[in-house]
Chains A and B, each alone.
Chain A
């Protein structure tokens, strides 16, 4: 099934400039695999060496942060909208 994924600007060099891409996936984990297949280099921007979502990356499925769903095992269904969003922080 095809899932629409919004890409933030820092990742667009990896998607040929596309703001949105479509990936066949039934879960967030499969979606990350699909993104990597189509746009090499995206996986390492999203997950760490252990395969966990990076601290400063959030993935939303229909406005819900997957950290509050089933994380990478969150199921996807046709028509779902996925957004990759940076977590921004800093200070002195």
Chain B
């Protein structure tokens, strides 16, 4: 997945700003090139330090707005405060139960609220697993 530098920096800044809670958002673009990372409110109310939820209403709105702009939802991003920048078993299990085939998940690890690392992963129903893919800055 390819990301303009400003988009990558926006996700990392969001993760730092939200620390120690998880933050999340939606990636839109075309043909493996992310045009924008749209920050969403984390709707998880009980354990937002270790969980995130994107409201279906937010997804519906972004789905419509991106289609009107000729863009697609390519995937999602969320942060892992003080944890590694890789999908957890919870991420994998929920992706497998949901509609995630062929979508990109960016995980932004944020250590101590300052140091960030973003990685990109593709979920495949056939494998029931994430596979890391290049996080390419364009």
Interface size on A, residues (CB 8 A): 26
Interface size on B, residues (CB 8 A): 36
Number of A-B pairs whose CB atoms are under 8 Å? 95
Separation of A19 and B66 alpha carbons in the complex (Å): 12
Check: B19 CB closer than 8 A to any chain A CB.
no
On chain A, the residues within 8 Å of B80 by CB distance are 92
Pairs A–B under 8 Å by Cβ, sample size 11: A9-B72, A10-B102, A45-B99, A63-B60, A86-B59, A86-B99, A88-B54, A89-B54, A90-B88, A91-B47, A91-B90
For window 87-108 of B, CB contacts with A under 8 Å fall at: 87-88, 90-91, 94-95, 97-103
The 7 A-B pairs of least Cβ separation, nearest first, read A56-B98, A91-B51, A90-B91, A86-B99, A58-B56, A88-B54, A10-B101
Q: Which positions in B face A, CB cutoff 8 Å?
A: 22, 24, 44, 47, 50-54, 56-57, 59-60, 63-64, 67, 72-73, 76, 78, 80, 83, 87-88, 90-91, 94-95, 97-103, 125
A1-20 CB mask vs B (1 if < 8 Å, else 0) is 00000101111010000010
A89 partner, pick from B53, B83, B102, B125, beta carbons under 8 A = B53
On chain A, the residues within 8 Å of B51 by CB distance are 89-92
Q: Known: A10-B100, A10-B102. Contact between A92 and B90, CB under 8 A? A: yes
- When the two chains form their complex, are residues B56 and A89 in contact, meaning their CB atoms are under 8 A apart? no
